[in-house]
Amino acid sequence: MKSRMKNLVKTVLSSAVAVAAAFGLAGPAAAEWSPKKPVELIIMAGTGGGADQIARLLQGLIEKKNLSPRPFIPINKPGGSGAEALRYMEDKAGDDHTVLVTLNSFYTTPIIQDIGVDVSTFTPIGRMALDNFLLWVNTDRGDITDFDSYVAAVKSAGREWKVGGTGSGQEDSILTAMMESYFGYEVTYIPFPGGGTVAKNLVGNHIDSTVNNPAEQNEFYRAGNTKPLVQFTANRLPAYPDIPTAKELGHPIEYYMQRSINGPPGMSAEAQAWYIGLFETLFNSEEWQTFCVEDGLACESFLKGDELGQYHMTEIEKHKKLIQEVGADAITG
Amino acid sequence: MDSIFTLLASGILEAMQPLNFMMIIIGCTIGLLVGAMPGLGSVNGVAILLPITFLVPPTAAIIFLAAIYYGAMYGGAISSITLGIPGASTAVATVFDGRPLAQSGKADRALIAAAIASFIGGTISVVLFTLFAPPLAAFALKFGPPEEFALMVLAFATFIGLGGDDIPKTIFSILIGLVLATIGLDIISGQPRLIFGDITGFLHGINFLVLAIGIYGIGEMLWTLETTRGEVTVHKVKMSVRSFLASLREIKSYIGTTSLGSVIGYFVGTLPAAGATPASLMSYGLAKTFSSKPETFGKGNVAGVAAPEAGNNAASTGSMLPMITLGIPGSPTTAILLGGMIIWGLRPGPLLFTEHPEFVWGLIGSLYIANFATVLINLAFIPVFVKILTLPFTILAPTIYILCVVGGYAPTQTMHDVWLMFLFGIIGYLLRKLNYPVAPAVLAIVLGPLAERSLRQSLLASQGEMTIFIERPISLVCILLAIALISYPTIQKLIKRRRAQATSGEK
């Protein structure tokens, strides 16, 4: 039954493609593209993390607001710090029914690992938010009350100090490497399959500290399990008015992560336009903006299409430089 | 304590509301059918059904999703027993005895035992959930990488006992599974491993379903073709009220091991990393180890169907706990449940229990109702499922082939996996001919990545010291239990031999 339906969908799809090809050159009248089959929403990280929560919220909002004639299906491909997801997208070149929810490993993984993917060829759709980073420890650590006592504790523990993260080459490992090179200490970095698992291991005292996004720690913070020490932002986030930024303390460490939606290389212009429209609607929705405020994300402006492509190019250059400075070895451990 | 029962009672009452009750019935039925189809992903199914949940209030919606989840856990046993293909990794252990029972014309007994055991597992676990959720959530936090690894060692130990008498062949089979599990991207460094040059299809690793459907579906077909030599076989199954009652009377033969399996299953399920697969295995392993007739396991013992089904159902209730308290979903279906919660503004975390008790207890209340509903729906459908087996082999075999190909294609939608599945089918057939147990390989591919990750995380944390596994009390207990389980059959044999010698000496 299902296979028959699939065939039917395929036939409809191929005839739709043929029709689109026939009319595509005729003018913008034929540009009204919309998905013909379920859209794969690829998440380059594990379940429970920030990217996962965002993808699942977007999926739900699309359904709730009835914005797409076909459902969006979130699929987690966390392997190899996002390498699995990037290779998957690369292999889907020209496909109009697959989009990727990114993290900064979108930039860093192809720089650090030789996976044969050039993300600048991907089809940029829209930047939904900039995510922030805070440094977290378990509230049991009474000896650590601020950033200075943290640095002192790490320095005396040396390699015994365990920092949890979501994978070598992920943004948290970069930020960890930035701190290592700035303060001149070395820690042991342990990768976990997602931000949710990192949080759990911090609460259970299996790791000593982590740099998590607010969304991944908020609930544990409210429950009194973990505490933030410092924010790596330009200004204090409204959700954390009492926590100083690293900059205020005289340590110029600042780092952000983009949360954007991208198609595989060679997505058709019609499909790209449709997705841009869809995600812009979502970006401007009350639900999304509320989520941003509650979870400490910055959602001031929606970068779309070529603007986002430009942004990607500058970020790739920035990360190349950053990785050169701290050394790829510091990141992969 | 009082407040819990008041909350639970109101939760159950909530679930009995006409609309909610209807959602439970529809959800369980859909779940049952989705679960019964090997490889026809519940992820797609549930994602497509998600819009329905926006037509009803949030509580009804979450109850609907939970009912599908619940029904699917029951349904997993059906294809394992009737077709011999496990549709999900949680149902692998059900094949061991379910398939032989079906082949000897006792499919109805196996299906009834699976349904009843699922009910027992579901009931025990939901009661445990009601009574001990907060302390267990705290205990689950004590499980770091070393404990997770020790638990995996324990799971591996249970299936050394499963492989039958030939322990070296079992170990060989486990090792094949472990090697297959390392294919794909390295979990720590992200470098590709064993991708045979640069075959991109191997980058995402080998999907469990590809191996399971290949070995059990295709391999089994080839085997049947050879043994029957093209003869048309029809399994005669007669369902009558009397045989149904006789099956119900059988319950007392497996109630003990099933209850034990349920408790263990629930407990393993509450650990975020583990889930229902090791739970079903451990439950099966224990049932076999402590059975008075362990040699009948794997040849069609009803208790061998009941134990893993109780274990995996209990674990699926247990895995609600990490989802609610830690926001870590244990399966694709729970992940969708999680998505639903986020949309309705409910953030999973340690405070959800106290801040939104009506939601949590409503969900738990609906599990009680869903459990009753599913067992009744399942029992009602059994005559239909059994009918499948009365089809002549000439019709059944091509149908299974088609289901295998679709099931192999569906998860990743690449032909690469379909060819791989055929290859595994042929290898599975050859292994079977050479008398190698194949189940350990299938289970190793599921547990291998979990074990590898936790092993490497532990060794990173301990700077390479293996002592980390015996320094920590929980992991030490798991490792000692594993050693005991591995040595138990050998010791038992020695005792038997000594007794035999003693009696012959007296003569």
Question: Which run of H or of E encompasses A305?
Answer: helix A305-326
CB contact under 8 A, B185 and A83: yes
Nearest to B43 by CA among B67, B81, B72: B72
A7-16, B23-32, B283-292, B391-400: least confident range:
A7-16
* B315 Cβ contact list (under 8 Å, min separation 6): B90, B125, B265, B266, B268, B269, B274, B275, B276, B279, B280
This prediction has a pTM of 0.81
> Which of these ranges, A88-102, B62-76, B98-112, B293-307, has the smallest mean pLDDT?
B62-76
The answer to whether position B339 is within a domain reads: yes
Among candidates B24, B73, B100, B82, which has minimal Cα distance to B362?
A: B24
Of the candidates A214, A205, A210, which has an alpha carbon nearest to the alpha carbon of residue A189? Answer: A210
Q: Which of A322, A313, A294, A117 is nearest to A221 (CA)?
A: A294
Which range of A124-128, B70-74, B133-137, B181-185 scores highest in mean pLDDT? It is: A124-128
Instruction: Tell me which H or E stretch contains B280.
Output: helix B276-289
Helices in B292-356 by DSSP H: which ranges?
Answer: 302-318, 320-326, 332-343, 352-355
Q: Does the pLDDT at position A243 exceed 90?
A: yes
- The pLDDT assigned to A306 comes to 93
Cβ–Cβ gap B51/A47 under 8 Å: no
Verify whether the Cβ–Cβ distance A84 to B203 is below 8 Å. Answer: yes
Domain count, chain B: 1
A contacts of B144 (beta carbons < 8 Å): 201, 204-206
Of B37, B145, B185, the CB nearest to A80: B185
B451 is a domain residue:
yes
| Inter-chain CB proximity A191 and B350 less than 8 Å | no
Strand order in the sheet with A209-212: A188-191, A162-165, A209-212, A134-138, A226-231
Q: Rounded to whole angstroms, how far apart are CA atoms A291 and B347?
A: 11
Q: What is the mean pLDDT of residues B61-89?
A: 81
Residues B196-212: tens digit of each pLDDT: 877 777 877 888 878 88
Rounded Cα distance, A205 and B144, in Å: 8
Mean pLDDT along residues A294-321: 91
Q: How far is CA B474 from CA B20, B125, B134, B502, in A?
A: 41, 22, 19, 40
The CA distance from B107 to the nearest CA of chain A, in Å, is 25
Classify residue A158 by burial, with Cβ atoms within 10 Å: 0-12, 13-18, 19+. Answer: exposed
Do A48 and B329 lie within an 8 Å CB cutoff? yes
Chain B residue with CA closest to A91: the answer is B200
Distance to chain B for A94, nearest Cα, Å: 16
Task: State the nearest Cα–Cα gap between A97 and chain B, in angstroms.
Answer: 13
pLDDT band for position A271 (cuts 50, 70, 90): very high
> What does the angle CA B397 – CA B400 – CA B406 come to, to the nearest 5 degrees?
145
Enumerate the β-bridge partners of residue A123.
A263
Size of interface A-B (CB pairs under 8 A): 159
Asked whether the beta carbons of residue B190 and residue A169 sit closer than 8 angstroms, the reply is: yes
Mean pLDDT across A233-257: 91
Cα angle B464, B469, B472 (rounded to 5 degrees) comes to: 120
- Count Cβ neighbours within 10 Å for each residue of B108-117 and write b for 16 or more, e otherwise: bbbbbbbbbb
Q: What per-residue confidence (pLDDT) applies to A18? A: 45
In chain A, what residues touch B189 (CB-CB under 8 Å)?
80, 113, 168, 332
- Tell whether B417 is covered by a domain: yes
Measure Cα distances from A251 to A134, A181, A245 in Å: 14, 12, 9
From the list A47, A60, A168, the residue facing B188 with the nearest CB is A168
Highest mean pLDDT of the ranges A326-330, B189-193, B277-281, B464-468: B464-468
- Find the mean pLDDT for residues A218-226: 90
Residue of A65, A77, A206, A282 to mutate when probing chain B, most B C-beta within 10 A:
A206
Residue B339: closest C-alpha in chain A: A56
Element (H, E) at B96: helix B92-103
Asked if the structure places residue B507 within a domain, the reply is no
- C-alpha–C-alpha distance, residues B173 and B180, integer Å: 11
Q: What is the mean pLDDT of residues A216-235?
A: 91
Asked whether A209 and A289 are in contact (CB, 8 A), the reply is no
Q: Residue A2 is nearest to which of B40, B200, B342, comparing CB atoms? A: B40
Q: Which helix (H) or strand (E) holds A190?
A: strand A188-191
Mean pLDDT of chain B: 82
Interface touch A112/B272, C-beta < 8 Å: no
B/e letters for B421-438, b = 16+ CB within 10 Å, e = fewer, are beebbebbbebbeeebbb
**% of chain B residues with pLDDT over 70:** 89
Give the residue from B225, B227, B207, B219 showing the smallest Cα distance to B425: B219
Q: Please report whether residue B266 resides in a domain.
A: yes
User: How far apart are alpha carbons A244 and A255 in whole angstroms?
Assistant: 15
A113:B191 CB<8 A = yes
Domain residues for the domain of B181 are: 2-502
Give the up-direction half-sphere exposure of residue A121: CA atoms within 13 A in the CB hemisphere. Answer: 15
Domain assignment present for residue B442? The answer is yes
Q: What does the radius of gyration of chain A's CA atoms come to, in whole angstroms? A: 21
Q: Are the CB atoms for A138 and A203 separated by under 8 Å?
A: yes
Tell me which of B310 and B225 has the higher pLDDT: B310
Q: In the prediction, which pLDDT does A1 show?
A: 41
Residues in chain A: 333
Helix (H, G, I), strand (E, B) or coil at B290: coil
Q: Which two tokens stand for residue B314?
A: 């209990």
Using the CB atoms, write b or e for A289-325: b if 16+ within 10 Å: eebbeebbbbbeebbbbeebbeebeebbeebeebbee
B131: number of Cβ within 10 Å = 12
User: How far apart (Å, rounded) are the C-alpha atoms in residues B257 and B267?
Assistant: 15
